[in-house]
């Protein structure tokens, strides 16, 4: 220990040496610096930036409308609105101030469109969707979900939904009137086939016809039983139409909806729910989509039926379909284009469904 005592004296002797003081404080500075760092410096982590795709994996896209070969509108869950100006290659998100599920969209032209959704929300746009404005529509006290909307010339549009709701506008969606008394039945689709005739379909196989532009409605009596709901209806002209529904239900009419026939004579039927149907003039066929990636094709004679699934590995459900340039855009649990020519389904966004 004598050794150390000696050193003490030494350091005292030199205690006025500035440079020595500086040097001997350096280790303390380092240590206190480290201590300070240990206590106060919280390491920051560089986070990988995660880009969100326009169509996110969990989006359910319920409605689609093809304005022309370039312009497509999609609406879906949690207030999602998407617009493409390049046939679906890229999408841009449009916003409203609500997060209701939107069920359907329909456009009068490239600028003017209307969308409907849960709780009876209706939004219109006049500027290609840059701004969407909510309009108040007549509601009931029970259930107000609006399921489909279709636009017609001169600013007319029809929408249907829960509790037997049928709504009509004639001023591009600015004002809506209730076209029918409330009833505890869900109406799933509606179509106007000429100046005065409107047909709606819904739960329990209900078919409602109005021959006076909605002033009064008649329930069509069918000469067969239907347990399943009708989900969609389409006409290729004033007389020939097809309605599809749950459990692969397909019914046809050749007289403008007055009488209906069940079943197609030949072809492999599907038991999947069918959710939408369109008439494809260019291929002269009816085309329908539904659950588990199923599609059904019926020829114009309404006699031959073909069915299949878009992609064996992708069993996503679809609620609507529309044509664009000889292909079909199907929306639902995913969004994709089906090419009937190549029998190939291409998703419009990488998407994982489960």
Partner 1 sequence: MEKFALACINKRKIVLALVCFFTLLLSYPAFNIDVKTIFEDLQPTSHKYIKTHEEFKNTFGGTNIITFMVVAKDDDIFNLNVLEKVQGITQGLLKIDAINEFQIYSLAGKKLKEVKASTEGIESRPYMWPNLPQSEKEINELKQAILKNPLVYGPYVSKDLKATLITVDFFDDLLNYNLAFDQAYELAKQFEDDSVEVSVVGNPILYGWVNHYLPETMNLVLLALSIFLVLLFIINRTWRGTLLPLISGAVSAIWALGISQLCGIHFDPLVVVIAMLITARAVSHSVQMITRFHEEIDLLGNNLCSKIAARLTLKDLLRPGLLGIATDAGCVAVVAISPIPLLQKLVILAVVWVSTVAVSAVILTPVLLSWVKKPNSYAHGLNLDVILIRPVLNLCVKVVETRARYAVVFIAVTLFMVCGYYSLGLKVGDANPGSPILWPESEYNEDSAKINKKFPGADRMFVVVGGERENQVKEVEVLNTMLRFQTHMEAQPQIGGTLSIADILPEVNKTLREGNTRYHELGENTLVNGELMYMFENAAEPGDLDRFVDTERRNASVTLFFTDRKGETIQTAIARINQFITDNPLVNQAQIHLAGGVIGVIAAVNEVILSGQIQSIALALFILVIMCIAVYRSSIAGMFFMAPVILSNLVTFAFMSWQGIGMNINTVPVAALGIGLGVDYALYICDRIKSEYEKGHSYIESISTSIHCAGRGVLVTALVLIASVCVWFYSSLRFQAEMGLLIGIWLSVSALSALFLMPALAYIFKPKFIFSEEKRRSAL
Q: Which residues bind partner 1 (CB under 8 A)?
A: 1, 3-4, 6-11, 23-28, 30-31, 34-35, 37-39, 41-43, 45, 47-48, 50-53, 56-58, 60, 62, 77-78, 99, 101, 103, 118-119, 147, 228-229, 231, 246, 273, 275, 291-292, 313, 315, 317, 319, 332-333, 352-354
Phi, psi of 5 (to 5 degrees): -55, -40
Measured from the CB of residue 304, what is the shortest distance to partner 1 in angstroms? 26
Measured from the CB of residue 336, what is the shortest distance to partner 1 in angstroms? 15
CA pair distance 130, 193, nearest whole angstrom = 31
Measured from the CB of residue 202, what is the shortest distance to partner 1 in angstroms? 11
Measured from the CB of residue 194, what is the shortest distance to partner 1 in angstroms? 28
CB nearer to partner 1: give 43 or 265: 43
CB nearer to partner 1: give 39 or 153: 39
Measured from the CB of residue 352, what is the shortest distance to partner 1 in angstroms? 7
Strand order in the sheet with 230-235: 230-235, 241-245, 250-253, 261-262
CB nearer to partner 1: give 167 or 331: 331
Spatial CB neighbours of 45, under 8 Å, sequence gap ≥ 6: none
Q: How far is CA 84 from the centre of its chain?
A: 14
CB nearer to partner 1: give 163 or 172: 163
From the list 123, 187, 104, the residue with the least C-alpha distance to 179 is 187
CA Rg, the chain, in Å?
32
Q: 63: number of CA atoms within 13 Å, CB side? A: 31
CB contact at 8 A, 241 and 257: yes
The tokens for 328 are 């079909």
CB nearer to partner 1: give 54 or 285: 54
């Amino acid at each position: 220990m004598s050794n150390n005592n000696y050193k003490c004296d030494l350091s005292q002797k030199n205690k006025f040496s500035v440079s020595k003081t500086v040097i001997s404080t350096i280790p303390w500075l380092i240590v206190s610096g480290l201590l300070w760092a240990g206590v106060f410096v919280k390491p920051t982590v560089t986070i990988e930036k995660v880009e969100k795709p326009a169509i996110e994996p969990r989006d359910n896209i319920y409605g689609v409308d093809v304005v022309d070969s370039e312009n497509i509108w999609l609406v879906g869950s949690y207030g999602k609105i998407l617009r493409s100006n390049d046939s679906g290659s890229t999408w841009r998100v449009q916003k409203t101030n609500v997060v209701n599920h939107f069920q359907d969209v329909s456009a009068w032209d490239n600028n003017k469109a209307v969308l409907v959704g849960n709780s009876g929300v209706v939004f219109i746009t006049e500027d290609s969707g840059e701004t969407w404005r909510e309009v108040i529509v007549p509601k009931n006290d029970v259930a107000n979900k609006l399921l489909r909307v279709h636009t017609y010339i001169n600013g007319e549009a029809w929408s249907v939904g829960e509790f037997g709701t049928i709504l009509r506008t004639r001023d591009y969606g600015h004002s809506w009137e209730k076209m029918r008394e409330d009833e505890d039945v869900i109406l799933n689709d509606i179509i106007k086939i000429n100046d005065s005739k409107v047909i709606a379909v819904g739960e329990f196989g209900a078919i409602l016809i109005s021959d006076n532009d909605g002033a009064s409605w008649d329930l069509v009596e069918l000469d067969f039983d239907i347990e399943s709901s009708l989900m969609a209806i389409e006409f290729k002209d004033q007389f020939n139409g097809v309605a599809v529904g749950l459990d692969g239900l397909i019914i046809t009419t050749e007289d403008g909806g007055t009488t209906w026939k069940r079943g197609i004579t030949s072809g492999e039927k599907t038991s999947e729910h069918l959710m939408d149907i369109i008439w494809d003039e260019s291929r002269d066929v009816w085309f329908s989509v539904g659950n588990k990636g199923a599609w059904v094709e019926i020829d114009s004679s309404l006699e031959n039926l073909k069915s299949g699934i878009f992609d064996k590995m992708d069993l996503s459900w679809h609620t609507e379909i529309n044509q664009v340039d000889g292909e079909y855009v199907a929306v639902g649990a995913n969004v994709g284009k089906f090419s009937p020519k190549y029998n190939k389904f291409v998703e419009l966004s990488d998407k994982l469904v489960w």
